[in-house]
Amino acid sequence: MTPLQNLKLLDLSRQLPGPFCSTMLADLGMDTLMVSNPTDPFGSGIPFMARNKRSMKLNLKTEAGREVLLRLVDQADVLLEGFRPGVMKRLGLDYATLAARNPRLIYCAISGYGQDGPYRDRVGHDVNYLGFAGVLGFIGHSDGAPVIPGVQIADIGAGALMAVIGILCAVIARQQTGRGQMVDISMLDGAALWNVYPVLLHLLGETPQRGRTQLTGYNACYAVYETKDHRYVTVGAYEGHFWATLCTSLGHPEFIERQWVEGDERQHILETFRAIFRTKTQAEWMAELGERDICFGPVNDVGQMLADPQLRHRGMVVDQPNGRPTLGNPVRLSDTPPSLRTPPPLFGEHTDTVLQELGFDAAGIERLRADGVIGE
């Protein structure tokens, strides 16, 4: 049993935020159908994000294609889309139209800036949302430019995961009211919410600056250090007792009372620890400090992450039948856990099956194919 197995999701989204959201829901059992334009070069997308889903080709710019979607909406619980605001309305498939047809429908739209406001029609990507939200301004060193993170914080953390929360909240609300609703997710909104510590400093009267706050590598107790083999380790000895253990372990107990010093003293401690960490390899430091109460670990590359014993044990890295690893689902439920049930489908693999479920016969399906409604 999976917790969402009786719910049907139509996923019209592509690229990253929407498909990531629907993957989380599909892993938890939601019956997910990807609906894509027959000529979409993205196809069924990144394999990891297409698992546990079916794939259907459908041209929504045709009247017949829109009619097929409306018939799918009649049976759906959730519709997810990631178009620019206004696109679905121009197609005649906006929330008001679909809700009039199926009042129980939960309609989730993920966009860069939301469905209203002065930025509504702007285009954007992860880096733009992080910039507007102030998040990007805190990533990097104090003497350099902002650094673009290697993972998509706004797309996934501020977009996809907020959409999952919104959809599940709407499902619960529907159990009480019997009605669906619109879930309007803005990646800028979600990214702004990540500013917990900077906003706290601001409200305390401080001016947070890139690379100069306690959690950005400014102090030796919370920093990244290069090792002898040109790899890196992380130190998060923020609390005093962790810091004391680190200083003692590195042979400098005199630094224990100087954790938050400024100026030349701060720089001296940083340079001392940098020199020490360069004397041994990452593996040697892990063997020496990994089990101590320091808050210590490696900066893994992707290969190391995929082989990590903790992630393997937790099912966050799973070997597929073809021997290639894939990522698991981090939601741990004791009775109804997520699962990897079906492999990523071929692009449009389930088109005919879905149409048959809607009552189309073989001749009707061939007409749709000949008219370019469902592609080849």
Q: Distance between CA 104 and CA 171 in Å, rounded?
A: 9
Whether residue 146 is predicted with pLDDT greater than 90 in this model: the reply is yes
CATH at 144? 3.40.50.10540
Structure tokens at 29: 């059992």
Residue 241 bears catalytic tag: no
Mean pLDDT computed over 332-341: 93
Give the percent of the chain with pLDDT over 70: 100
Confidence of residue 345 (pLDDT cuts 50, 70, 90): very high
**Environment class of 258 (CB within 10 Å of its CB; exposed 0-12, middle 13-18, buried 19+):** middle
Residues in the chain: 376
Domain shared by 250 and 289, yes or no: yes
Q: Distance between CA 329 and CA 317 in Å, rounded?
A: 9
Of 268, 298, 328, the domain-final residue: 298
Which are the contacts of 222, defined by CB distance < 8 A and separation ≥ 6?
A: 214, 215, 216, 235, 236, 237, 238
Domain shared by 177 and 252, yes or no: no
Q: Is residue 47 part of a domain?
A: yes
Q: Is residue 3 part of a domain?
A: no
Q: Is residue 44 part of a domain?
A: yes
CA-closest candidate to residue 45, choices 76, 73, 82:
82
Q: Distance between CA 22 and CA 161 in Å, rounded?
A: 10
Tokens 């139509």 found at = 10
> What local confidence, expressed as pLDDT, does residue 155 receive?
98
> What local confidence, expressed as pLDDT, does residue 307 receive?
96
Structure tokens at 51: 């698992």
Number of domain units in the chain:
2
CA angle 345, 349, 353 (to 5 degrees): 125
Confidence of residue 30 (pLDDT cuts 50, 70, 90): very high
Residue 268 structural domain: 222-226+232-298
CATH at 250? 3.30.1540.10
Domain shared by 88 and 23, yes or no: yes
Domain shared by 42 and 143, yes or no: yes
pLDDT in tens, 207-236: 888 988 888 899 999 999 999 999 999 999
Average pLDDT, the chain: 96
Domain shared by 92 and 148, yes or no: yes
Mean pLDDT computed over 348-356: 97
Residue 38 contacts residue 32 (beta carbons within 8 Å): no
Q: Is residue 2 part of a domain?
A: no
Residue 230 bears catalytic tag: no
Q: Is residue 305 part of a domain?
A: no
Residue 60 contacts residue 84 (beta carbons within 8 Å): no
Domain shared by 178 and 46, yes or no: yes
* Active-site entry in 94, 155, 184, 189: 155
* Active-site entry in 40, 125, 293, 308: 125
Mean pLDDT computed over 78-107: 97
Q: Distance between CA 265 and CA 52 in Å, rounded?
A: 55
> What local confidence, expressed as pLDDT, does residue 222 receive?
97
Domain shared by 152 and 187, yes or no: yes
Confidence of residue 376 (pLDDT cuts 50, 70, 90): confident
Of 298, 331, 349, the domain-final residue: 298
Q: Is residue 153 part of a domain?
A: yes
CB count in 10 Å sphere of residue 19: 26
Whether residue 292 is predicted with pLDDT greater than 90 in this model: the reply is yes
Domain shared by 294 and 323, yes or no: no
Confidence of residue 1 (pLDDT cuts 50, 70, 90): confident
